[in-house]
Amino acid sequence: MSFEKEVKIYFVRHGETQYNIEKRMQGFCDSPLTDRGISQAKSVGKGLEDIEFTAVYTSESQRVIDTANYAVGHRNLPTKTDPRLKEMNFGVLESLLASEISEQYGDILEKLFALNDMNMAPPDGESYNQLYTRTTSMIKEIIENHQNEGGNILVFSHGVTIGFYLMQLTQMTGFPHHDNCSVSVVTYKNNQFEVETIASTDFRDQFQ
């Protein structure tokens, strides 16, 4: 009887962006990495450089692709972008300030982040359940791609996407905050997931 090999996934949130600084709602919409964000990406890359990775997967948002490029650096690794790793789609709330959202849509943010209704979605956006469905679909595909050989996989994505996936995996009641270029580590073997690390900034900070 053969057992599949362990797949270890390192989830990395993108570096700081212009909209992060301005505190604008940033899901499907995009804004460029700041100089600090670029520095964070390079630093987390250095923090991970002693780990041998076999592949890289990224959200198709440019802020994530840029983060991955800075972090991976000179490593020659097969890289695939996929829309299923994108941030939650906030619909009409995209690119707005919290004050603008409050003026136009009342307490929708409070209701959304209360996490009481996983089927609630902003107008023209998506729900947590829809986000989780596409995220898990992608993670399943990544595991299937690598479970015969095993190894370490880099996945660059977004704060809510990574956070909600881990929240469901660990059955946490609270939402884990993911700082820019924080790292979360999940292992998979013999149909079992184990969350080793959640939103650690150690990889990034040792080279900042």
Q: Is the dihedral of CA 139, 144, 145, 149 positive or negative?
A: positive
Q: Distance between CA 89 and CA 122 in Å, rounded?
A: 8
- Helix crossing, 62-72 with 35-47: angle to 10°? 50
**Cβ atoms of residues 164 and 89 within 8 Å:** no
Residues marked active site are found at 14, 87
Cα–Cα distance between 175 and 178 in angstroms, integer?
A: 9
Q: How far apart are the first and last CA of the chain?
A: 47
Helix (H, G, I), strand (E, B) or coil at 106: coil
Beta pairing class for 7-13 and 183-189 = antiparallel
Residues 166-175: contacts with CB under 8 Å, at least 24 apart: 166/11, 166/195, 166/198, 168/132, 169/193, 169/195, 170/195, 170/198, 175/113, 175/115
Residue found by looking up tokens 């300030």 in the block? 97
